[in-house]
Amino acid sequence: MDRQKLIIDTDPGQDDAIAIMLALASPQIDLLGIIAAAGNVSVEQTAENACKILELTKRQDIKVYKGCPRPIRRAPITAAHVHGQTGMDGPDLPTPRHVPEKQHGVTFLLETLAAHPANSITLVTIGPMTNLATALIQAPETVGRLKQVVAMGGAWSETGNITPAAEFNAFADPDATAIVLNSGLPLTLVPLDITHSFLITPDRLEALAALTGQCARAAHAMLNFSARFDLNKYGWPGAPLHDPCTVGYVLAPHLFAGKKVNVEVEVASPLTLGATVVDWWQVTERPANATFLRSVDDSGLWSLILEGLSRLP
């Protein structure tokens, strides 16, 4: 089996944690490292959270690197009101025995890309795109060696979840999002249009609770904690599960459908800052710059995640 080389750029986050677990549980994936991003909480906390996930999964061989501590030119925001003060509230997680590397996450990304064949590494971003945008500013030719970028971010029909117009990752650093959208990288966006149709309903939580491993128990506790906010907010039969959709796409792209279109992000308007403008009907002459996903086989995706979590300790 040809394993897919993967780097995850993340701001854990309960849903980020489950995305990382899915990657670690999948023999098809060779996880080269984790870069922590400032987003749901501070970069210091997200790096510690990533180390906790690796401790939980008994994968201390994977290294964690702290990335940029703040957006490119805006004041930091967080989502502690959703994820709790640690960003990953819910389970009682083990204290990690190792700490993030001293090397900066952007440096790790560039050096790793330079050391591997071109078009052999996929970058999954499940937080604000600050680290990737910074790498593009520093060394666009090196970043161009990426096979693809799969990013959780943006929205079209689902509008926004942090403001009426904007999805959190795009809003947290819209300038970084703009840099990535205009970079020419092979980019797939997994937006709210996907994640809002992937709901973790009580029966799915019950199936997760039936698994016996400590990782599955932690995932269950995480989802129970983070769901409380979205269930109250939306009134849906389940809470959306965002970030694991990206790793799910890497593993099983046939479960998703979308098309390549032009996507731009608002970087100036106080009213619509961070909004992604998706030219789905190609009414402009702007060139297509991203594959924008619109639908998912949610049952197939949940089966994939549940099977993955069942393989972890």
Q: Which residues are catalytic?
A: 242
* HSE-up (13 A, CA, CB side) for residue 138: 15
Enter the DSSP assignment of 145.
T
Contact 66, 76 (CB under 8 A): no
Strand 199-200 vs strand 256-261: parallel, antiparallel, or unpaired? unpaired
Bridge partners (DSSP) of residue 149 are 123, 187
Structure tokens of 270? 């106080």
* HSE-up (13 A, CA, CB side) for residue 151: 28
Contact 215, 221 (CB under 8 A): no
Q: Which of 6, 5, 11 is nearest to 243 (CA)?
A: 11
Amino acid found at 310:
S
